[in-house]
Amino acid sequence: MGEIMNTLVVFAHHEAASFNAAMKDQAVAVLSARGHQVMVSDLYAMNFEPLAQRSDFTELSGTEPMNYLMEQRNASAKNAFSEDIKAEMDKVRWAETIIFQCPIWWFSVPAILKGWFDRVLATGFSWDFGKNYDQGLLRGKKALLSVTTGGSGPMYESTGINGDIHQMLFPVHHGVLYFCGMTVLEPFIAYAAFQAGDEGRKKYLEQYKEVLEHLDSRAVIAYRPHADFDDSGRLK
Ligand code: FAD
């Protein structure tokens, strides 16, 4: 890695001695040692509120029933978000790379991280009407999912019983991160984190170190830009 990079690690695990915590610590240690600036949002430790609700806004437009998406848009224009959302938005603005560290729960991310997506990646802040995917408001930032699974590697192959891991991660990769304009890096996956045993987990931590040391050249998932689609949203 050449230049100094600002990295935000959004971490979603309830246990400080978990393997996910060790992965988060590895990211902080490796990136800091290389001179990068690193911030961590430890969502459980922060007791991060995952529920989208009226109190997320310091003023409301008055439309009833309250439309969360339109209130986000209004709040983005007036900087009228609650303090906890504003603090996370400041970290996102600051970050050039965002790493999401969490276990896979029900083929997705834990609810607390889903709540972070819902509340922090607000309309008018991370995307807006006509400003999504390659036009998204967070374009230029890189995103890396670093996840652990219960299922094994073979189970997550395209012919495996769980189906292709990329298919499983598509809703987050494409529907959240790329939707906001971020460049999505190939994920790091520690399969069967529990079954792997101490040796297997040690190996994962070493492999992850390699990944972190070469983050600037990590393969990007190539998603299609708006230009590839017609006005109805169909592929040309
Ligand atoms: P932990 O249990 O915290 O850690 C595993 C082991 O690593 C522990 O023995 C710990 O002591 C040890 N460890 C900690 N630090 C280190 C270190 N530095 N070096 C070496 N070892 C260390 N899995 C799927 O595949 N698909 C699903 O859809 C899915 N859904 C789930 C839904 C729920 C609600 C839950 C609870 C689990 C689900 N799982 C699923 C399983 C889940 O993904 C795994 O339990 C999780 O990935 C394991 O990671 P962890 O950090 O929680 O492990």
Pocket test of ligand 1: the residue of 26, 42, 102, 105 to mutate, having most ligand atoms within 8 Å of its CB, is 105
Q: How many CB atoms lie within 10 A of CB 179?
A: 20
In ligand 1, the atom with minimum distance to the C-alpha of 190 is 47
Q: Do you know the residue count of the chain? A: 236
Residue ranges lining ligand 1, Cβ < 6 Å: 13, 15, 17-20, 22, 103-107, 148-151, 193-194, 198, 201-202
Q: State the distance from the centre of ligand 1 to the C-alpha of 104, rounded, in angstroms.
A: 8
Give the whole-angstrom CA distance, residue 128 versus residue 110: 25
In this structure, the residue with its CA closest to atom 53 of ligand 1 is: 19
In this structure, the residue with its CA closest to atom 22 of ligand 1 is: 19
Q: How many CB atoms lie within 10 A of CB 68?
A: 17
Give the whole-angstrom CA distance, residue 126 versus residue 139: 9
pTM above 0.95, yes or no: yes
Q: Which two tokens stand for residue 176?
A: 């959240």
Residue 41: phi, psi to the nearest 5? -105, 100
Q: State the distance from the centre of ligand 1 to the C-alpha of 103, rounded, in angstroms.
A: 6
Beta bridge partners of 98: 8, 143
Identify the pLDDT of residue 71: 98
**One pLDDT digit (tens) per residue for the chain, 236 residues:** 467 899 999 999 999 999 999 999 999 999 999 999 999 999 999 999 999 999 999 999 989 999 999 999 999 999 999 999 999 999 999 999 999 999 999 999 999 999 999 999 999 999 999 999 999 999 999 999 999 999 999 999 999 999 999 999 999 999 999 999 999 999 999 999 999 999 999 999 999 999 999 999 999 999 999 999 999 999 99
In ligand 1, the atom with minimum distance to the C-alpha of 151 is 25
Identify the pLDDT of residue 1: 45
Is residue 121 within 8 Å of 176, Cβ to Cβ? yes
Return the closest-CA partner of residue 83 out of 45, 123, 48.
Answer: 48
Task: Give the single-character DSSP code of 55.
Answer: G
| Cα dihedral value 84, 113, 186, 89, nearest 10 | -10
DSSP-derived 3-state class of residue 196: coil
Identify the pLDDT of residue 2: 60
Q: What's the longest Cα–Cα distance across the chain?
A: 57
Give the whole-angstrom CA distance, residue 59 versus residue 171: 31
In this structure, the residue with its CA closest to atom 7 of ligand 1 is: 19
